[in-house]
Amino acid sequence: MSTPAGPPTAADAASTSLPGTGITVALFATCVNDTLFPGTPKAVVTVLERLGCRVVFPREQTCCGQMFTNTGYFDEALPSVRAYAKAFADYDYIVGPSGSCVGAVRDQHPMLARRTGDPGLVVASERVAARTLDLSEFLVDVLGVTDVGASFPHRVTYHPTCHSLRVTRVGDRPFRLLRAVRGLDLVDLPEAEQCCGFGGTFSLKNADVSVAMANDKADNVVSTGAEYVVAGDNSCLLNIGGVLARRRSSVTPIHLAEILASTEEAAS
């Protein structure tokens, strides 16, 4: 299953046997990453191109609309659903670095489209939803790769975000990818599958409960002695990292894609 990609060499560059050769990926950056965490989609580009994929960025993309949908504003989410269906209509592989946004596209876009009674939008939404994958799914399932040639000599703990775990259901793919990273010391996070308390607008509407949950998560993260807490969703990391930063903790939040993009060359 796992095809060691290794650090790119001259021989690799000349060969056409890279796992992604011939595959075009449309990058779904997500609005949060686009605006606040541009380093994450850049890292996706690095990883995918290292594996031989051609990466394109359809600039008509905006947002998955989840914030509107999950706050009960279905009509207000529709412009996002339409923009997504239009931006990604022509691609076989749509890949995003977010279990949550990918889950929203797959789980909610067809439902929102059906409410409009517009059969064209239903078909278009179902089509793009079926082709939308989280980065970890694309790497492991489509490219058949767990070793992406990364190196990250640090102690790391992984928080499986709720939507990657229970909506997108990425399963153990992130673990398999992390275990193949050179030098990485992966330590178990206690109560790993418990929500960090983010929950989109929950973090504002029920801020007190949200903070109490984030503090539990931060306690567990700190207890591992890890230098980095890694996840597949920057929104959750914003929440966990927000509490860690307020405590002046030395643990750094980092997206899975950024670890996978790291190489010995980049570090030196």
Which residues, numbered 102-121, are part of the site for another protein (CB under 8 A)? Answer: 108
Among 90, 119, 172, 179, binds another protein (CB under 8 A): 90
Q: What CA–CA distance (Å, rounded) separates 249 from 116? A: 47
Cβ closer to another protein: 38 or 153? 38
Q: Per-residue x/- marks for another protein, 124-143, CB under 8 A? A: --------------------
Q: Is the separation of the CB atoms in 252 and 228 below 8 Å? A: yes
Residues 242-261 contacting another protein, CB under 8 A:
242-243, 245-246
207 belongs to the binding site for another protein (CB under 8 A):
yes
The alpha carbon of residue 214 and the mean position of all alpha carbons in its chain are separated, in whole angstroms, by 20
**Pairwise CA distance, residues 128 & 139, whole Å:** 18
Determine if 158 is a binding residue for another protein (CB under 8 A).
no
92 binds another protein (CB under 8 A): yes
Residue 197 interacts with another protein (CB under 8 A): yes or no? yes
The label of the residue with tokens 């449309």 reads 26
User: What are the tokens at 3?
Assistant: 């095809």
**CA distances in angstroms from 142 to 104, 150, 242, 261, 265, listed in the order given:** 21, 18, 34, 18, 27
Cβ closer to another protein: 1 or 13? 13
Distance between CA atoms of 222 and 159, rounded to whole angstroms? 12
Q: Which stretch binds another protein (CB under 8 A): 131-139, 182-190, 241-249, 257-265?
A: 241-249
Can you tell me the distance from the alpha carbon of 131 to that of 211, in angstroms, rounded to the nearest whole number? Answer: 35
- Name the residue nearer to another protein (CB basis): 59 or 188: 59
Within 19-58, the residues that bind another protein by CB under 8 A are: 21-24, 26, 29, 31, 33-39, 41-42, 49-50, 52, 54-58
Rounded Cα gap, residues 101 and 136, in angstroms: 14
Structure tokens at 80: 């996002």
- Residue (163 or 173) nearer to another protein, CB: 163
Nearer to another protein among residue 33 and residue 262 (C-beta): 33
CB of 124 to another protein, least distance (A): 15
